Amino acid sequence: MLEKLFRNKELLKQALTLSHHGKSAPYERLEFLGDRVLGLIIADMLYHTFDKEKEGELARRFTGLVREETLAQIAVQLNLGEMMITKEHELRANRSVLSDVCEAVLGALYLDSGLEAVRSFMEPIWTPLLHMDKKAPKDAKSALQEWAQQHGHKLPVYTLIDKTGEEHAPRFIMQVDVDGLGQAIGEGTNKKTAEQTAASNLLKQVK
């Protein structure tokens, strides 16, 4: 399916070729580009789909549509894990890597055929996700803070537990504590993502 979209097959190959033992690879530059292309198209889709919503509501929807979990899910849907070119087979099921490669493919398609080609590719995949929530969802950190306040608990406290991985592909482990409620751990490619995951995990525990 993907190969038919590309005139320059080498670009797709670059997007799917992972770094080996921490060495840099072309897909990382394509991921950087794809992240921006993804953000622009999703923002445009939201702007025109939810024309009555305020900036804050659009921002919450945006976060859910471009987050690591969503991109990894789409990567699985597109079978990118099996298509990856790597000697480290465990990476094929790594959520962070799947997310990165998904963005790299979008970046490669943009270079190959332009913005409208990426839009045409993305719209059938992302449109159902746009309509999953009738109201703009709250991010996990905001939801946890509101839940804690409503139930008489102190505000959540986030702590960095560990940082692993190479400098170009770090993994952060954050812990969230709510006095009198409990704690939970979350991982992500940056602190913000890890905090959101930790908050989401704690919400699942208390609810």
Half-sphere exposure of 192 (CA within 13 A, CB side): 5
**Long-range contacts formed by 162-168: CB under 8 A, 24+ apart:** 166/22, 168/19, 168/22, 168/24, 168/28
Question: Helix, strand or coil for residue 79?
Answer: coil
Res 8: pLDDT: 96
Res 128: pLDDT: 94
Place of tokens 């921006």: 36
Domain 140-206 sits in CATH at 3.30.160.20
Q: Give the integer Cα–Cα distance in Å for 149 and 172.
A: 27
> Which CATH number is 2-130's, of 1.10.10.10, 2.40.100.20, 3.10.450.50, 1.10.1520.10?
1.10.1520.10
Res 104: pLDDT: 97
Question: Active-site residue among 31, 68, 100, 103?
Answer: 103
All residues at 6 or more sequence positions from 36 whose CB lies less than 8 Å from its CB, including other chains: none
Question: Hey, do 2-130 and 140-206 end up sharing a CATH topology, with the first three levels equal?
Answer: no
Tokens describing residue 196: 């959101």
Place of tokens 């997007």: 15
Place of tokens 């622009």: 40
Question: Active-site residue among 31, 35, 68, 187?
Answer: 35
All residues at 6 or more sequence positions from 185 whose CB lies less than 8 Å from its CB, including other chains: 161, 173, 174, 175, 198, 201
Domain segments of the chain as ranges: 2-130, 140-206
Is 103 marked active-site?
yes
pLDDT in 10s for each residue of the chain, 207 residues: 789 999 999 999 999 998 765 556 789 999 999 999 999 999 999 999 999 999 888 988 898 899 888 999 999 999 999 999 988 888 899 888 999 999 999 999 999 999 999 999 999 999 999 988 767 667 788 888 888 888 888 899 999 999 988 776 788 999 999 987 789 999 988 888 899 899 989 988 876
Res 102: pLDDT: 97
User: Looking at the DSSP assignment, which residues form a beta bridge with residue 184?
Assistant: 176
Nearest to 13 by CA among 28, 27, 34, 32: 27
* Predicted TM-score (pTM) of this structure: 0.72
Is 195 marked active-site?
no
